Amino acid sequence: MNAGKPQKLTLTVPAKTMLAGEYDILTSGGEAIALALNTYLRVIITLGPQANEQQITVLSDYWGEGRIITPASTDDDLLTILIKDFILPLRKVTAVEISSQYLPSYGFGSSSALILALQTAGICISNSSAQQNYGRDSLTDVDATKLLQQARSTQLRFQSQASGYDLTTQWHGGLLKLQAEPTGQLNTQALPVPQDLDEILHIYVGGKGASTPETMVTTCDWLTANDLHAMIRKHSRRLCACFIDICKQQDTTLSALIAAVAAWRQVFAFSPCFPTHIATQLAHLHGCDQTWTFKTSGAGGEDALLLIGQRQAVQVADQSLRANGWHAIPYQPDNKGLTVEWSSNLP
């Protein structure tokens, strides 16, 4: 980092969506399948000799006006805490600008992206020198594992449980199989992405969204009260296996995946957070659970909905969702994960 010369540090974090394994991944031995998407949250940090250790200007398209965050700021929202804990102590930052191509209501991991970006920024800035900037490539595998553990610890300050699958997916990119270890760490395995994935997996947004902490607590309490954890593990494992076989072009057919989703949904349909109104409409449409199917993603509620089936088969569901204010998100898998780029403010 060149002393005396203003610089910018840009961190770009992909969105994520969970395809299978929600709630199973929260317990030891649990498995999940998650996908990084080519829609991004971006954080641009300006550094320079005029940095004021007492305040940082924060701009974001999440709100209309800039905010000044200081050590005395009393707001307890995620952004304020991240700035106070990881950026202000550096005494090198003048401004932070946040932009996102996806809304928090999509359930694409905006909070986890923000945590990952700002904690990574803190590491990169604190380890940079006048001779060399510190970037993602500077982190060893051990460093990355420690960073993800610390990011998960930050998540747990805001929600009762967190597997860290979102952080891990957004860090690595791609299509991942994740498995929870007794230590709380996640084993990851990169899966091959089918070339026609966007022809059979369709992602819809437009619902009112769902607060992850609240939805997670309510759903976990419901699973425990009804002794459903073992059943959810059974259906989640079946669903994960079907996705993996399709990715590896093995024997599983699309009809087997549709049947696995339908069985999973028959359990979660009774969850107090399940989007019953829209689900009831979809379930009565022609071909549902035969030539196409649907499921919630992530914590559940009215975050993103996944339609699974050939594009022609899901047209009837597409029309119903659009009539209710939902729309499909064009996507491709992101294969890079979080990226870090240094640049100069000067021409």
CATH code where residue 66 lies: 3.30.230.10
Tens of pLDDT, residue by residue over 144-167, are: 999 999 999 999 999 888 999 999
300 lies in some domain: yes
Alpha-carbon span 220 to 234, nearest angstrom:
16
Confidence label for 327 from pLDDT (cuts 50, 70 and 90): very high
Q: What is the pLDDT of residues 259-283, one digit of tens each?
A: 999 999 999 999 999 999 999 999 9
How are beta strands 56-60 and 93-100 bridged, if at all?
Answer: parallel
Q: How far is CA 124 from CA 96, 143, 167, in A?
A: 15, 11, 17
Instruction: Give CA separation, 140 vs 33, 104, 135, 137, in Å.
Output: 25, 31, 11, 8
Residue 167: closest CA among 341, 47, 338: 338
Q: Do 241 and 321 belong together in one domain?
A: yes
Which structural domain range is residue 110 located in? 7-191+333-344
Domain count, the chain: 2
Does residue 2 sit within a domain?
A: no
- For residues 290 and 171, state if they share a domain: no
Residue 174 lies in a domain: yes
Q: Are residues 37 and 107 in the same domain?
A: yes
Work out the average pLDDT over 112-119: 97
Q: Between these two residues, 46 and 209, which has the higher pLDDT value? A: 46
- What pLDDT sits at residue 50? 61
pLDDT class of 347 with cuts at 50, 70, 90: very low
Q: Is 248 helix (H, G, I), strand (E, B) or coil?
A: coil
Same structural domain for residues 236 and 166?
no
Q: pLDDT band at residue 5, thresholds of 50, 70 and 90?
A: low
pLDDT band at 21 (very low <50, low <70, confident <90, very high): very high
| 1 assigned to some structural domain | no
Mean pLDDT, residues 65-71: 86
Q: What percent of the chain has pLDDT over 90?
A: 71
